């Protein structure tokens, strides 16, 4: 504590510059985190939300619980998914983990 007071007294009028030098690394760390972590995550979340909103009949979906099936009916907040022949379940759109459109052909088909 005594050393901090002595250092502050010795610095005199340059406390503004010293404060800036101390805060600069924190700002740089925040900028790096923003561009490497936060921004890409927001982009993925927007893409996922758009994909879920665009789900249509005959799309292949994967639910958050791991069930895979084909969409047979779409409503505002839920979809009806056929997970086996004549076995249909309702799932909330918010629980869909992935949507694979049936209109796009895979490379090996």
pLDDT tens, residue by residue, 83-102 = 999 999 999 999 999 999 86
Residue-wise pLDDT for 12-36, tens only, equals 556 878 888 999 999 999 999 999 9
Average pLDDT over residues 65-78: 94
pLDDT of res. 106:
54
What is the band of 5 on the pLDDT scale with cuts at 50, 70, 90? low
What is the CATH code of the structural domain delimited by 55-100? Answer: 2.30.30
Q: Is the pLDDT of residue 10 over 90?
A: no
- Cα–Cα distance list, 94 to 1, 58, 78, 99 (Å): 54, 18, 8, 12
What is the pTM for the complete model shown?
Answer: 0.66
Domain ranges of the chain: 2-50, 55-100
User: In 6-109, at which residue ranges do the beta strands (DSSP E only) sit?
Assistant: 60-63, 68-74, 78-84, 87-92, 96-100
Please state, in angstroms and rounded to a whole number, the distance separating the CA atoms of residues 11 and 59.
68
């Amino acid at each position: 504590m005594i050393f901090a007071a002595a250092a502050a007294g010795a610095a005199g009028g340059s406390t503004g510059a010293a404060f800036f030098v101390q805060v600069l690394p924190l700002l740089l760390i925040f900028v790096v985190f923003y561009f490497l972590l936060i921004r890409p995550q927001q982009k993925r979340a927007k893409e996922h939300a758009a994909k879920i909103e665009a789900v249509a009949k005959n799309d292949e979906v994967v639910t958050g619980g791991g069930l895979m099936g084909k969409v047979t009916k779409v409503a505002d907040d839920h979809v009806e998914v056929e997970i086996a022949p004549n076995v249909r379940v309702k799932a909330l759109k918010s629980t869909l983990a992935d949507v694979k459109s049936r209109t796009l052909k895979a490379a090996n088909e």
